[in-house]
Structure 1
Amino acid sequence: MIWDALALVGGLAITAATVFDVFATVVVPGRVSGPINVSRLLRTYMFGFWRGTLRVCARRPNPRMGSVFGAMLLLMLLIVWVALTLLGLSLIAWALRDSFTPPIGRFGESAFEIGSAMMTLGLSGHGATGWARALVVVAGLCGLQIVTVTLSFIVQIQTALRARDALVLKLESRAGSPPSGVVLLAVTREMDAHDGLPKLFDDWEGWAAMLLYTHGAHPVLSYFRSDKDGLDWLTALGAVLDAASVTIAVLDDVPGGNARLMHDGGVRTVHRLCHAFRLDPRQVTELSDEDVDAAAAQLEEAGYAVRRGCGAELRHWRRAYRAELAALVEHFGVKEPAWLGGQDVRAASH
């Protein structure tokens, strides 16, 4: 009787915790505290194994994390949810084994009974009476709901990826690959889109807010990479933040209001994501006066009026996000945004 009671209580606890985790992960915006967090546990343990394997294969200290990891994470999430629910309900069935006809003799039979009910296979060789009837119905509902909710989760992932990557892919023609904030500003001026800078920063401010909402609520989205090696959502965010910092500190003939708003939103997104993945800020090398002067000369050549001697102010604005951005870049194994960039994008614009 004691073992039956323990199996009943344990099964109820495992099943309730798993069902709560499914709805907290998929349905509820943001993360609701619960007894378990399967998604975070899988990310923690699978990431270390996956990164170690890539290091051996690629022979690089920080190899690029491809989208395969995100897909594997989603698959394992579904498998673990189903396995935990099956375990919990099987324990309950074992505790109620005398309510089945004929009585269940082994734990494997109870697992098969519940698995058949969850998958609606109809292969059960046992009849159910009393509480066992309710258990079989609940098992069918749990199996159906987990699969349905997971499929809707995949649709959410695809929708969020389309919304995220559409603006990122447009950045290549303006800022190169890897993107550069200085090149973005220069090409925008040379293409007579100078008046479009406020709208550009408005678009990226909204994009950063969307990123904070979707990737904060579903961190697995962060592991889905762009098809292009040098153009990633994180690299793009860093490049546009650089463009906003340069606009605020260096450009003398461009209103900085929209750039400040984008800078504030982007910094908040970088900090929140760094905290969500439990990363410590990294030590970064700040821009030298020569780097600042080279960027000012490139922007002046493009037609902007620039301020001289603004290196300290520019470093101040970049310091707000560079350490956290470097931690995220190292974690995901993507390229950092370029500072000056190449000449291929600017040459193509003429």
Structure 2
Amino acid sequence: MDTTDPVYIVLRVVAFLAGAYLVVYTVLSGIRTFVLPRPAQVLLFRLVFLNVRRLFNLRAVRAESYAERDRVMALYAPIALFFMPVVLMGLVMLGFMAIYWALSPLSFIESFKLSGSALFTLGSFTNDDPLLMVFEFSEALLGMILVALLIAYLPTIYNAFTRRETQVQLLEVRAGTPPSSWELIARSHRNGELTELREFWSDWQVWFAELEESHTSLPALAFFRSPRPELSWVTAAGVVLDAASLLLSTVEIPREPRAAFCIRSGYLALRQIAIFFEAPYNDVPTPTDPITITREEYNDVCAYLETQGVPLCPDRDQTWRDYAGWRVNYDRELVSLAALTMAPYAPWSSDRSLSPTAYHDQNGEAGRWE
């Protein structure tokens, strides 16, 4: 092709600009994903996780039990995270390939070889043109930086995971398996701690603050499942929030302000996480909004607490209204995040569209796994 042809020149200019844009966009996406310490919607991150999720959903819906689904989905976040540097490196390589093609007489294949050799520092294909050498060195440097960012990212995410899961597993001591808010209250009453839970609420208030920060700045962490299939950060959050709501509305003990602050810390955290993942949430909850807990379920829990000797307020209509007024703050966020993460069954805290039998259905046909 004639190198003086205007079409040829325009094509080369477009290729150079497109390649440079792709490289810059990819590097900025890597920085926003691995370095930026604040929530950031990264299109590449979202596309990778969504497409890997679709593949895992195809396998999860054929699982014969929840335990099998959990084993399948336990690999979802690690594999999606594994593909992130692959995608970033691939886009960098394509971007520099376009740059090399635009700045030299190299063919597409030769440009591809040069880009791959530079990115992976192979040295198997080089070019003596000074301008191309500058881009070669730049590509090699970017490749090493991207690998270093991933290496630094993994310890950060696993440290946050460990802090999260420590509290989740400790909750089992108080709330049983699967965890429930009323079991937490009943055990605390039997042990004489029902009015001595200030430190408990303070610890969980801190946990919620860390949860919001880590699950929006390190979004992959939300999909890392607990080491044990019956536990989840979502259901743990729901149990603690419901226990605080029942304590403030239904249990007849002196009012504990730290429980109220724990609820506020919790629903703010869940709301911010739901907003980040574009999950359904209630932006302006009011006490009259419907909740997923029915009055019959609430009455059953009150009856259970009475059998355990827990002192309850006498006006059941008022306590129900008070409980619903607390629950409405986090109800929709909790349910939507449980569905998003395929959380295990826990009464009142998991996806309310699924029953215990739906989670353990041996036919593998019950429930929504979107």
1:168-227 Cα distance to aligned partner (Å, 9 max, x none): 011112111221011112112222333541111111111011010010112111110012
Matched, 1:21 2:29: yes
Alpha-carbon separation, structure 2, partners of 1:284 and 1:313: 12
1:59 Cα deviation (Å)? 7.8
Change (3 A) 1:307 1:9: same
1:38-57 Cα distance to aligned partner (Å, 9 max, x none): 11122223223321331134
> What is the root-mean-square deviation of aligned Cα atoms in Å?
2.3
1:32 Cα deviation (Å)? 4.3
Matched, 1:323 2:329: no
Q: 1:41 — aligned with what? A: 47
> Given that residues 63 and 69 in structure 2 are in contact (C-alpha distance below 8 angstroms), is that contact kept between their aligned partners in structure 1?
no
Alpha-carbon separation, structure 2, partners of 1:185 and 1:137: 63
Q: 2:104 — aligned with what? A: 97
Alpha-carbon separation, structure 1, partners of 2:338 and 2:40: 27
Which one is further off, 10-19 or 168-177? 168-177
SS of the residue corresponding to residue 171 of structure 1 reads helix
Could you tell me which amino acid in structure 2 is paired with residue 315 of structure 1?
A
Change (3 A) 1:304 1:227: same
Could you tell me which amino acid in structure 2 is paired with residue 198 of structure 1?
R
> Given that residues 40 and 217 in structure 2 are in contact (C-alpha distance below 8 angstroms), is that contact kept between their aligned partners in structure 1?
no
Q: 1:286 — aligned with what? A: 293
1:110 Cα deviation (Å)? 1.6
Which one is further off, 166-175 or 111-120? 111-120
1:338 Cα deviation (Å)? 2.1
Q: 2:89 — aligned with what? A: 82
Alpha-carbon separation, structure 2, partners of 1:272 and 1:121: 44
Which one is further off, 51-60 or 241-250? 51-60
SS of the residue corresponding to residue 127 of structure 1 reads coil
Change (3 A) 1:45 1:125: closer
Matched, 1:307 2:313: yes
Q: 1:123 — aligned with what? A: 124
1:302 Cα deviation (Å)? 4.4
1:91 Cα deviation (Å)? 0.8
SS of the residue corresponding to residue 255 of structure 1 reads coil
Alpha-carbon separation, structure 1, partners of 2:128 and 2:33: 35
Alpha-carbon separation, structure 2, partners of 1:269 and 1:88: 38
Could you tell me which amino acid in structure 2 is paired with residue 26 of structure 1?
F
1:292 Cα deviation (Å)? 3.2
SS of the residue corresponding to residue 320 of structure 1 reads coil
Q: 1:346 — aligned with what? A: none
Could you tell me which amino acid in structure 2 is paired with residue 231 of structure 1?
L
Aligned length: 329
Could you tell me which amino acid in structure 2 is paired with residue 111 of structure 1?
F
Change (3 A) 1:63 1:331: farther
1:300 Cα deviation (Å)? 4.4
Could you tell me which amino acid in structure 2 is paired with residue 200 of structure 1?
F
> Given that residues 117 and 124 in structure 2 are in contact (C-alpha distance below 8 angstroms), is that contact kept between their aligned partners in structure 1?
yes
Matched, 1:5 2:9: no
Could you tell me which amino acid in structure 2 is paired with residue 109 of structure 1?
E
> Given that residues 329 and 336 in structure 1 are in contact (C-alpha distance below 8 angstroms), is that contact kept between their aligned partners in structure 2?
no
**Structure 2 unaligned blocks of 5 or more:** 1-8, 283-289, 350-370
1:10 Cα deviation (Å)? 0.6
Alpha-carbon separation, structure 2, partners of 1:108 and 1:281: 50
Alpha-carbon separation, structure 1, partners of 2:180 and 2:254: 19
Matches within 5 A, 1:158-169: 158-169=158-169
